[in-house]
Amino acid sequence: MKAVYILAVVLVVGIGFQSLALTEHKPYDETASGQQQVADALVQAQAENKHVLIVWGANWCSWCRGMDEMMRKDSAIQSLLDKNYVFVKIDMGERTKNMDLARKYDADIAIEEIPHWTFLDATGKVLGQRRSGELGPGEGHYETLKFAQALEAHRPGVQIAEEGYTSLFNGKDLTGWVGDIAGYTASDGVLVCKPGGNLFTAGEYADFSFRFEFKLPPGGNNGVGIRAPVKGDGAYAGMEIQILDDRDPQYREIFPYQAHGSVYGIVPAKRDHLKPVGEWNEEEIIAKGRHITVILNGVTIVDADLDEATKNGAMDGKEHPGVKNATGHIGFLGHGSIVEFRNIRIKKLD
């Protein structure tokens, strides 16, 4: 801005949440409220930036006990769980207990198929399932390699495949990016503005769908440059889609075209669709010809024709030659705040 975003491992026990230390593989709680356990686990997952693993099972199930024993003894598995998941166990009772809750999270469980794993992100979105038979060769025997593969595949920072989309960030370094490389760091699937300046994709894009997640600190300020050159002010030489904690008191009197999601200086965005500071937001920017759409956490906050928006000049009264660009780089435009990004991907529409 110029003036002025889990995987949680939930092992749900009965019907009520307990966060379990990995050295404490307790029995399934037969009296707890499973629904409340999941709700509490999701709150913890958001606070700790983790995902949730739900393990559906029962105390009478020898396979469930065998899985607990293997997980307890394997330090690598415990490390994966500790770092990435909220871990909870849900009691399935004798046959049908908590089955409706399991179906809510797309777990199609036959009682002879427990234990069963369900992976959620911190919003409750289902990321994947693992049936008992997929975790080992059968006969109640499990393979820690398959445990580890499942945990790695659904941990935070691992991008779930989307048809037609290509990842722009490998999660570990800045390969494929140019500009202020020194102003950004990359690790564990997260790109962090330290803060820094402008960081751009090495390639150029014309028409596209650009998806990413971001997390703001209080008063956080950044931006997404689109159809921009590497040199120059991205908000004018290209276009800037604002990233801003516009609820912060310091921004109480900003102009509408400075609010989060706005095409800076040109098109104002609908406000108040950001998640609370410190939580991950999901955003999609679609550029198709002269049309720009911005979708924040599932809500369309900008849907504008650039020619119509600028027919009488830009809202801020300044020259924006970049609004005419047909192609250019995509980048993050740092403005003095530590802002985090992850799951950065693009789909070409041209």
Quick check: 100 pLDDT over 50? yes
Which phi and psi angles does 324 have, rounded to 5°?
Answer: -90, -10
What's the whole-number average pLDDT of the chain? Answer: 87
pLDDT in tens, 255-283: 999 999 999 999 999 999 999 998 889 99
Identify the sign of the CA torsion 81, 166, 245, 172: positive
Residue tagged 């290509």 (tokens): 166
pLDDT attached to residue 159 = 65
Domain boundaries, the chain: 34-153, 166-348
Here the tokens at position 342 are 């992850």
Q: Which CATH architecture has domain 34-153?
A: 3-Layer(aba) Sandwich (3.40)
pTM of the model: 0.65
pLDDT in tens, 208-238: 999 999 999 999 999 999 999 999 999 999 9
User: At how many degrees (to 10) do helices 75-84 and 62-73 cross?
Assistant: 90
Quick check: 142 pLDDT over 80? no
CATH top-level class of 166-348: mainly beta
The DSSP secondary-structure symbol of 13 reads B
Contact 38, 10 (CB under 8 A): yes
| Amino acid in position 331 | G
Q: Which of 9, 347, 6 is nearest to 190 (CA)?
A: 6
Contact 164, 314 (CB under 8 A): no
Kindly indicate the confidence band of residue 14, based on its pLDDT and cuts at 50, 70 and 90: very low
pLDDT attached to residue 128 = 87
C-alpha span between 330 and 230 (Å, rounded): 9
pLDDT attached to residue 22 = 40
Which phi and psi angles does 95 have, rounded to 5°?
Answer: -150, -50
CB atoms inside a 10 Å sphere around CB 164: 10
Residue 184, CB half-sphere, CA atoms under 13 Å: how many?
30
